[in-house]
């Protein structure tokens, strides 16, 4: 990561703190009015989207050109996978072997372009519930907008173009969006499989657990005292009753 990228990320994080602080209070008030409580998941989602947006804009636009900066000798690069040749050129320039390819500035820049669009693919799955086609087209469309912004010097707001319109950036950004979609889809699938496994084990345990047999209470035979109590007469003493006369 270059010092310019570190500076851009620092400014982007600072912008996130300011923007989210402005958005947070109205969101909390809205949650209390609608739900009677704060929905932590929605708050985290808003924070994540705001952080990504601020960092992405900072990386794309910053640092701005300073007065007196020289113009670029090349503003458009339309050869796909030119980055491979550029890695070789950088290695030859510094007298390094191919084992150092991953540590070249060219490869690190390519990796940054991929990682920059990974969250976009994750959002396509978790927030928008869309598929691979949507993630691919969104990644390509947003990347194309970024490259046009750089080619036109931020639509004429910058004094001169200071970034190259690079087809490899289009490919890397789109690949990052697809990679993010694939990772998020796999995570959702594994979570569903895990939930299904837990539910299956719980159901199997419930089927194999024997039910406790509760003995049925025996019906008591009413005694003479109980019968007398029911009819409202005092119990008779059998010893004082006269014997029946013989006929």
Distance CA 234, CA 180 (A): 89
Q: Radius of gyration over alpha carbons of the chain, in Å?
A: 38
Q: Does 22 share its domain with 103?
A: no
Q: What rounded mean pLDDT belongs to the chain?
A: 85
Is the domain of 107 the same as that of 189?
Answer: yes
**123 and 201 housed in the same domain:** yes
Q: Which two tokens stand for residue 176?
A: 């990052």
Of 37, 63, 89, which one is at a domain's C-terminal end?
63
Report cis status (omega within 30 of 0) of the bond before 118. no
Q: Are 27 and 42 found together in one domain?
A: yes
> For 11-69, how does the pLDDT look when each residue is reduced to its tens digit (9 = 90+)?
999 999 999 989 998 989 998 888 888 888 889 999 999 999 999 999 999 888 887 88
pLDDT digits (tens, 9 = 90+) for 86-102: 999 999 999 999 999 99
Same domain, 92 and 124: yes
- The neighbour count for residue 112, using CB atoms within 10 Å, is 15
Are the CB atoms for 163 and 150 separated by under 8 Å? Answer: yes
List the Cα angle 121/80/138 in 5-degree steps.
Answer: 20
Check whether 1 has a pLDDT greater than 70: no
Q: Which residue range is the domain that position 188 belongs to?
A: 69-205
Q: E strands within 95-243?
A: 165-166
Q: What is the pLDDT of residue 212?
A: 56
The verdict on 196 and 75 lying in the same domain is: yes
Judging by beta carbons within 10 Å of its beta carbon (0-12, 13-18, 19+), is residue 73 exposed, middle or buried? exposed
Q: Are 164 and 73 in contact (CB under 8 A)?
A: no
Q: Indicate the residue among 36, 63, 90 that finishes a domain.
A: 63
Token code pair at residue 122? 């994750």
The pLDDT value given to residue 215? 62
If one compares 131 and 228, the residue with the highest pLDDT of the two is 131
3-40 burial, b for 16+ CB within 10 Å, e for fewer? eebeebbebbeebbeeebeeeeeebeeebeeeeeeeee
Same-domain pairing of 76 and 196 = yes
**pLDDT tens-digit series, residues 185-216:** 999 999 999 888 877 777 767 666 565 555 66
Q: Is residue 217 part of a domain?
A: no
Would you state the pLDDT for residue 63?
A: 87
Q: How far is Cα 102 from Cα 84, in angstroms, rounded to an integer? A: 11
Q: How many other CB atoms sit within 10 Å of the CB of residue 52?
A: 19
58 with 100, same domain: the answer is: no
- What secondary structure does DSSP assign to 172-185, as a single string? HHHHHHHHHHHHHH
- Tally of structural domains, the chain: 2
In a domain, 236, yes or no: no
Answer with the one of 63, 89, 105 that is the final residue of a domain: 63
Nearest of 55, 64, 66 to residue 6 by alpha carbon: 55
Q: Answer yes or no: is 145 within a domain.
A: yes
Q: How many CA atoms lie within 13 A of 33 on its CB side?
A: 6
Residues 4 and 123 in one domain: no
Angle at 242 between CA 238 and CA 226, to 5 degrees: 25
Q: What is the pLDDT of residue 112?
A: 93
Secondary structure letter of residue 164 according to DSSP: -
pTM: 0.77
Query: What is the greatest pairwise CA distance in the chain?
Result: 144
Question: CB neighbours of 3 closer than 8 A, spacing ≥ 6?
Answer: none
């Amino acid at each position: 990561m270059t010092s310019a990228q570190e500076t851009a990320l620092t400014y982007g994080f600072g912008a996130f703190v300011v923007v989210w602080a402005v958005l947070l209070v109205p969101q909390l008030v809205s949650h209390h009015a609608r739900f009677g409580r704060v929905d932590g998941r929605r708050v985290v989602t808003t924070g994540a989207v705001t952080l990504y947006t601020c960092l992405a804009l900072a990386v794309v636009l910053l640092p701005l050109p300073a007065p007196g900066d020289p113009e670029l000798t090349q503003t458009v690069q339309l050869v796909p996978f030119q980055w491979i040749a550029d890695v070789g050129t950088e290695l030859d320039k510094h007298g390094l072997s191919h084992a150092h390819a991953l540590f070249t500035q060219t490869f690190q820049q390519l990796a940054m372009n991929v990682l920059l669009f990974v969250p976009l693919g994750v959002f396509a799955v978790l927030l928008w519930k869309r598929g691979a086609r949507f993630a691919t087209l969104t990644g390509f469309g947003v990347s194309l907008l970024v490259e046009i912004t750089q080619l036109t010097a931020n639509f004429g707001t910058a004094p001169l173009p200071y970034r190259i319109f690079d087809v490899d950036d289009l490919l890397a950004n789109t690949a990052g969006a697809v990679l993010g979609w694939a990772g998020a889809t796999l995570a959702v699938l594994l979570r569903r499989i895990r939930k299904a496994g837990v539910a299956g084990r719980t159901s199997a345990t419930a089927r194999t657990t024997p039910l406790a047999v509760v003995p049925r209470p025996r019906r008591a035979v009413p005694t003479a005292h109980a019968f007398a109590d029911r009819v409202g007469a005092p119990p008779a003493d059998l010893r004082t009753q006269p014997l029946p006369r013989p006929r």
